[in-house]
Structure formats: structure tokens, C-alpha cells
Amino acid sequence: MALKGIDIFKLTPKTNCKECGNPTCMAFAMKVAQGSVKIEQCPHMSDEAIAKLSEATAPPMKAVKVGAGECEYTLGGETVLFRHDKTFVSRNLFGVNVCPGCVDERLPEIEKVDYERIGERMHTEVLNLKFTEKEAFLGLVNKVKGQGKLLILDCKDVDAAKEALELCKAEKPILNGATPDNYKEMVEVAKAAGVALGVSAPDLDALYDTTAAIEALGYKELFLDVTGASIKDAYANAIQVRRAALKDQDRTFGYPSIVNVAKVAPDDTAMQTALASMFVIKYGSIILMDSMTYAQALPLFGLRQNIFTDPQKPMKVEPGLYPINGADENSVCVTTVDFALTYFVVSGELERSGVPCNFLISDAGGYSVLTAWAAGKFSAGTISKFMKEYDIENKVKSRTLIIPGKAAVLKGELEEKLPGWTIVVAPNDATGLVKFMKDFK
């Protein structure tokens, strides 16, 4: 059994290994080849053998860790081209370009977009600092460091990059500054600061050669800036780099990417948003724009959450009581399943009705109403159990519970399980909730 020309059986010692729990060296080698155990678990392997096998079994796209503290992210590490083949492992990040002349205007706008959706914080994660002139650039770095964002130093001036990193290297920014002309100097700067290095070039051939030259210098904490001269070029670059790494197994292009859509669609917010959505799918690890407003954030973050969620695990809302339209303890109660899509559709219609209500979400396994009911996840028993666990009767005085129309069969059982409660059946379709709630009120 060989990986990249390495014979695992020749490297694995011919002894039983009690430490790793495998009865024979062959069984252990088989598990290493399948990726179910790590080669480091065998205490008999030499450092040389571990190094060779670790490189051979690593993903074709390197996982690169950037940032520090709450702003630490891992990008790359992907193994497939398409989400339906296998779950993507590292979600992309969204960033905003800032320069010395626009930072005071853009920072307050960036801070406005910060909310939670299905247990995930939605905010602009990256600030891309654009170099114009050395002193102004250093002033910009001083102004934005400590803002709770991953920083990208978009600077190809070696001296300015070195001084900027002295100001912010503790935050582990990305130095996006290596080109075919200065890569040797930039590698030394990035090495000294211990940060990832972004590589850009006029075309893919030059980008490949420059990346190979940097690898030859012993540095592999890299990002590939695939932004081209046009939308067509950027799109082609992103796809070809990913295909070369994952399909052709060419590790020279096996690094996460940066794409700055503002460069190919300047002063066009709508086009930048559309392009950002495209590069969420094909294949930007960090996507940079000139702004991030709520109008841009809602579709982009929603798309990202769908693309980078395991399709085998449905998105669920945290169980609990969610007051809507200023509901208080006297407001009517409404319940449905914890499937995220159902929650957002129903809550949206309830908000449109303007009627205060307490929205009760129990654990239904992340299924839709009928699927959860069929699986026994949404039943009179589970709803009454939720009411007791979350002490609903002591939190609200209302004793009216509205259930989904498609779960009307639960009405009789719920009346038995919840004595003193009036069970009301809502319409089958969420679009009928607005009129139903207003008439019910």
C-alpha cells in the first residue's frame, strides 16, 4: 500500500503496537492509509517516517491558521471540489477594504453589522488595509489594530510591511505582499514575524512559479491572491487554482485564496455583492469588498451558512422561548419545530402580523413539521416535556397554545398532556399566519 510513492508497510515497524491498540503493524498501516488514525500514534515510528507519511496523507490544500484569540481562523484544508461530494471544512471570511482616507467612514458602518443567526455570529471578520504611502499606512495600522478583526496588510513595500508588522504582529495578520519581484524579501519579513504571506502575480503562470519559488525557500504558510484584471480572470483563476490542487493533486496551488471583488467591480456595490456570492461557492477563502451593510450581509451570510453546513446535519435553532413583537407574559404562545428554515419563515410571518406572541421552539431534531412528527420528534409528549423543562407555565400567564396546521392531529393529545391549556390549530401554510393572528387577536 503506497501513498505518493511511499510504502507504508516498509516504514511501519514489524512489531505489535500495544500503545495504539492495533494488533499488528499491517492493521495500523491500513488505518493510517484510510485516515482513521494518525501516524503519530505509533511510538515506534522514526521522525523521518512520520514526516514523510504526514506530508503524504495531508489534504491537497494546506490548512493555514491566521489571526489570534477570538479572531483566530483556519482556512483551506479542503479535499473536494463540490459540496455534494463532502462537506467543506473551512468557511470563507468576508472583509472590507479600508484606506487612510476612508477608514473613519467605513469602520462605524462595519461595526453596525453584528448579529447572531442559528447560533453563529454574523459580522465582518476581515479588514484589508490598503497601502498608499508609508506613514499614512502605519497610522492606519495603529488605528485599526485591536478592533477584533483579522487584518490583511495589502502592502508590497518591504520596509513599510516590516514596520507595520512590528505594530500588529501579535494579532497574526496576513501580509499580502509577495510578488515575482520581491518574494525573497517578503518571505524573510513574514518568517521573522511568524505570519502568513499572500502571493500575487500578473497571471496564473507567474503565480505558480512564484509560489514554487517561495516553497523552495522553505515557507509554506501562504495565501494565493487570485484577483485578476477582470471578473472573468478572477473567476477563472479561482477555479483553476482549486482544480489544480484538488483534482490534479498539485500542491503548489494547494493554498487558500484571497479575492478582492472591489478591484474587478470598483464603485459598484450591487456587483460586488453578487460577485461575493459567486466566490462563496467558487472558491474564495477570503472575499474582500468596499462595504458590508445589512443589505449585503443578510444574503451573503445566509448563503455561506448554507454552503458550509454539513448537509447530513440540518441547521437547527436553539430551543427556547422567543418573544416576538414585544410579547409579555400575557401574550399568546405559538410553537413549531426547530428546523431553521421553518423557524425563520414562521417567525417572519408572525412579525409581519404585528401581534405580540411567545414563540416556543422545542428540540425536534432539526426536521420539518411533518418529518419531525413522523419520527416522533414533534409530539404531544415532546412539547409537554419542553414546557416543563423550560418552566413555561411560570414564565407566561397565557394558556393558549397555537400549533402548526400540519400537526393538527396533536390537538387532542396536547389537551390531555397540558390540562388548562387551550390548543388552537394554525393554518397549514405560513403565508396564512398574518391574517390568522390578526383575526385571532
pLDDT in tens, 162-181: 999 999 999 999 999 999 99
Task: Using the predicted structure, report yes or no on whether residue 17 has a pLDDT greater than 80.
Answer: no
Say what the pLDDT of residue 142 is.
Answer: 94
Grid look-up 500588529 returns 168
Say what the pLDDT of residue 189 is.
Answer: 96
- Average pLDDT rounded to a whole number, residues 317-340: 93
Distance, in Å, from the CA atom of 256 to the CA atom of 263, rounded to the nearest integer, reads 19
Distance, in Å, from the CA atom of 425 to the CA atom of 378, rounded to the nearest integer, reads 15
Cα–Cα distance list, 170 to 28, 80, 147, 180, 351 (Å): 40, 33, 13, 27, 45
Per the model's pLDDT, the better-predicted residue between 17 and 238 turns out to be 238
Beta strands in 104-190 (DSSP E): 114-117, 120-123, 126-130, 150-154, 174-178
- Buried b / exposed e over 111-126, threshold 16 CB at 10 Å, is eebeeeebeeebbbbb
Beta pairing partners, 425: 403
Maximum distance among all Cα pairs of the chain, rounded to whole angstroms: 78
pLDDT grade, residue 2 (50/70/90)?
A: very low
Q: pLDDT tens for residues 281-308?
A: 999 999 999 999 989 999 999 999 888 8
Which among 268, 278, 286 has a CA at the least distance from the CA of 303? 278
- Average pLDDT rounded to a whole number, residues 8-13: 46
Say what the pLDDT of residue 5 is.
Answer: 46
Distance, in Å, from the CA atom of 78 to the CA atom of 89, rounded to the nearest integer, reads 6
Percentage of the chain lying above the pLDDT 90 cut: 74
Q: pLDDT tens for residues 18-44?
A: 444 444 566 666 676 666 676 667 766
Say what the pLDDT of residue 232 is.
Answer: 96
- Average pLDDT rounded to a whole number, residues 353-370: 92
Q: pLDDT tens for residues 386-395?
A: 999 999 999 9
- Average pLDDT rounded to a whole number, residues 191-215: 96
- Average pLDDT rounded to a whole number, residues 226-233: 95
Say what the pLDDT of residue 50 is.
Answer: 67
Say what the pLDDT of residue 230 is.
Answer: 95
Say what the pLDDT of residue 167 is.
Answer: 94
Distance, in Å, from the CA atom of 97 to the CA atom of 124, rounded to the nearest integer, reads 11
Task: Using the predicted structure, report yes or no on whether residue 60 has a pLDDT greater than 70.
Answer: yes
Q: pLDDT tens for residues 231-288?
A: 999 999 999 999 999 999 999 999 999 999 999 999 999 999 999 999 999 999 999 9
Task: Using the predicted structure, report yes or no on whether residue 56 has a pLDDT greater than 80.
Answer: no
Query: Which residues does 317 contact at the CB level (< 8 Å), separation at least 6?
Result: 118, 119, 338, 339, 340, 343, 361
Say what the pLDDT of residue 24 is.
Answer: 53
Say what the pLDDT of residue 234 is.
Answer: 96
Cα–Cα distance list, 251 to 44, 55, 60, 74, 339 (Å): 29, 11, 6, 18, 39
Grid look-up 510513492 returns 5
Say what the pLDDT of residue 32 is.
Answer: 66
